[in-house]
Structure 1
């Protein structure tokens, strides 16, 4: 019986090592003065001193890109997936008022593809530089017979920091106005239905299926919006009581997560028009409108709760920042949405 090598089992250590060496400069480009280690260390080290923060609270988030990766692979466009995972995690930490400080990634595949891996990490480092977070470390795994051939998984972990006195949600009241802020599409949720639809109907990603005004791949692969900049502008000028990042489960599942007991919400769906890609999904799949709003953000990627006196000013700040924002509803006595 012939002897086996580790490479025969489907894992190429030398190839992985070369791939990691190739991304070293990109990763280091995200480092700031808080990073206390070099690329390749066993653990990432970050200084625990935060200028201007008297009582620092660390906020940790974790999420994955999910089955959006399948569409990226089909279209040959995977760099945006790196932006997706960083921005998703940044937004989740932002809900509690945190500024991002460092990010870690997990990339797993049946067989590691150098070009695909490099593109995804390039997207991550671009997104990290944009928000001021260090890509502190990560794990790259080659696991044959665990992942399907040609597919991969992208997961991220982010830590942010906020002063305890500025943690959100706070001072949430019945009567607060809910402002909606436009999403750029599906972001990173609801792609399992889309993949099923693409497979069933043999949809051509390079074409406009009707009503989008752009190729379907562009609409589906547009990266997850990062709401850090507009929220920074808001909190400097108005009293923000809470944020809700609208991800899987839609407004119905995500808004109640930031509301105290006895406070519910009234959402005016007629106050905004869903992005064209959502209308296409509903029409092509036959999913009910009620279920679509329970699965997708439907064009509202972020909700901001502010006192009524600040609503008009907040809308002007968001508009001046180039955001499409509107009054989406209000908080009321009760539970849920």
Structure 2
């Protein structure tokens, strides 16, 4: 009988690597701490104090998301310092749609074999995203799960909590006919549609991630790993100065799924796609995949990452205000009473 004493490490879990990962992460986590943080990394729970005097009736708004198969590009590039920013962006942009100011963020990283430097690089991206969103990274979990993930692969998910006064919740209920739709540009693909992107560009057309694409002005991998834009600063600024009736974050499902989410049932968003400045990456995907234009708009953000519904009396003041601050924006449509939740005019 074999009496050899097994260890957790021999089963595939290296607790020492876990300790080293936490040590490397701390430098990035600390950079995100705001005045509300009342706990340190390493506790069983993250503690955050709300400034009750700043709100009449504070409501917490939460959101969770991941990065999807964009992670496959990070694996192909062996570049892991931007993917965490995507994770933060997907969560904080969602809660921003209800008018919430992000307070704090938690992450979850799962992998087959924990590599401290790689885990630290992921958290560096999460930290950068939190700083851009004004959110504190107050906790997280790094799970080593041998046999569950392929070598070198991992998954990342995030959880954001924000706050809004009850009277200032944005729910789209006040949107009415003739309101104007203002679009804020995306930074590219953001974190959606990558299953189709990989099918077209890698499986069918056999592109390489390190291949320089003239129309992109960079390698394909660099373009695909461009982090999702975080809209907290410009949009929260607008929320405080103008009457924003609805906000839509253009994520999975593109225009067709996300814009109707902010609309009352009897109203339709009429989008003039001719005015949208579509980035070259979408043109490349459409051409190489021979993809119908309606399919593109129902899958990708097509260059517009966030849409706001504003009364027509204020809409052009909002555009002027944002553009003066160097935040490009433009009118992409209006609210009408027509059949269907959205009408795309190509």
Contact 1:97 1:167 (C-alpha < 8 Å) held by counterparts:
yes
Render the CA deviation track for 1:206-227: whole Å, top value 9, x for unaligned.
Answer: 2333422222122111110011
CA distance in 2, matches of 1:30, 1:273: 34
Stretch moving more, 166-175 or 23-32: 23-32
2:246 pairs with 1:242: yes
Give 1:141 deviation, angstroms: 0.8
CA distance in 2, matches of 1:294, 1:50: 41
- Report the secondary structure of 2:75's partner residue: helix
Residue 300 (structure 2) aligns with = 296
CA distance in 2, matches of 1:82, 1:51: 33
Q: How many residues matched?
A: 337
Stretch moving more, 251-260 or 128-137: 128-137
Contact 1:86 1:156 (C-alpha < 8 Å) held by counterparts:
yes
Written as runs of structure 1 = structure 2, the 5 A alignment for 1:165-180 is 165-169=167-171, 170-180=173-183
CA distance in 1, matches of 2:58, 2:243: 21
Give 1:75 deviation, angstroms: 1.6
CA distance in 2, matches of 1:199, 1:112: 29
- Report the secondary structure of 2:175's partner residue: coil
Contact 1:238 1:313 (C-alpha < 8 Å) held by counterparts:
no
Contact 2:99 2:239 (C-alpha < 8 Å) held by counterparts:
no
- Report the secondary structure of 1:302's partner residue: strand
Residue 161 (structure 2) aligns with = 159
Q: TM-score, normalised by structure 1?
A: 0.95
Stretch moving more, 221-230 or 190-199: 190-199
| Residue among 313, 317, 335 paired with 2:321 | 317
Written as runs of structure 1 = structure 2, the 5 A alignment for 1:120-269 is 120-169=122-171, 170-196=173-199, 197-269=201-273
Give 1:3 deviation, angstroms: 4.4
CA distance in 2, matches of 1:324, 1:274: 14
| Residue among 330, 334, 345 paired with 1:326 | 330
CA distance in 1, matches of 2:305, 2:213: 24
| Residue among 63, 83, 86 paired with 2:85 | 83
Gaps of at least 5 residues in structure 2 are none
Contact 2:181 2:331 (C-alpha < 8 Å) held by counterparts:
yes
Residue 336 (structure 1) aligns with = 341
CA distance in 2, matches of 1:67, 1:7: 29
CA distance in 2, matches of 1:47, 1:206: 46
Give 1:130 deviation, angstroms: 2.7
Q: TM-score, normalised by structure 2?
A: 0.93
Render the CA deviation track for 1:120-168: whole Å, top value 9, x for unaligned.
Answer: 1011112212322111111111112222221111100000000011110
Render the CA deviation track for 1:243-293: whole Å, top value 9, x for unaligned.
Answer: 100001001100111111211111111111311001111112222222111
Residue 95 (structure 1) aligns with = 97
Contact 2:93 2:230 (C-alpha < 8 Å) held by counterparts:
yes
Residue 310 (structure 2) aligns with = 306
- Report the secondary structure of 1:85's partner residue: helix
